[in-house]
Amino acid sequence: MTKRLAIAAVLFCTVALPMRADFSSLARALDRHQGVKRVWIPFLGLARVAVRIVEPEGVHDFQLATFTGADKVDARELQQMMRTHVGAGFKPLVQVWSRKSNEWSFIYAKPVGDNVELMILAHDDEDTVLVRVSVNADKVAEEIGRHPRRVTNVARR
């Protein structure tokens, strides 16, 4: 019986862990970069469990990491890091940066059944944030169709 449990645990780890390894791999790569440090967010795990249970507006899961010190890193270097570590199946959706200020955003997307998984790495004057979110594609399309101006207002915040 113990052997079966051990085999089941190994199989679970080999299947389940790589599915989220893209976020972890990218977060570790950013954290290893000289001068960049990951900032711990209290109670984020609890919020993630709540989102998995409630699934507000079609959001099935998310992961979030914030970093300090990335303002000194070249945006093109981070863009290449994102390409390298984002994971299989992700395609670039948005890649922008400002020449006047140190702001940039890279958004990659991957379809997963009826959901869309987004990986977002963004930086403004002070904050650098990495987010992975899995959302129901139909709910997002429905919301955009119902309130297109609201979506652009939210995007401008």
The structural domains of the chain, ordered by start, are 20-156 (3.30.2030)
Q: What is the mean pLDDT of residues 86-115?
A: 87
* Helix, strand, coil percentages for the chain (3-state, nearest 5): 50, 30, 20
Q: Give the model's pLDDT for residue 19.
A: 45
Residue with tokens 């939210």: 154
Confidence of residue 34 (pLDDT cuts 50, 70, 90): confident
Is it the case that residue 77 has pLDDT exceeding 50? yes
Q: What is the mean pLDDT of residues 140-149?
A: 76
The SS3 assignment for 89 reads coil
Is it the case that residue 130 has pLDDT exceeding 90? yes
Q: What is the mean pLDDT of residues 54-80?
A: 85
Residue with tokens 């922008």: 96
d(CA 62, CA 81): 21
Q: Over the range 103-124, which residues count as b (16 or more CB within 10 Å of their CB) and which as e?
A: ebbbbbbbeeeebbbbbbbbbe
Entry pTM: 0.75
Residue with tokens 């984002």: 86
Confidence of residue 75 (pLDDT cuts 50, 70, 90): confident
Confidence of residue 66 (pLDDT cuts 50, 70, 90): very high
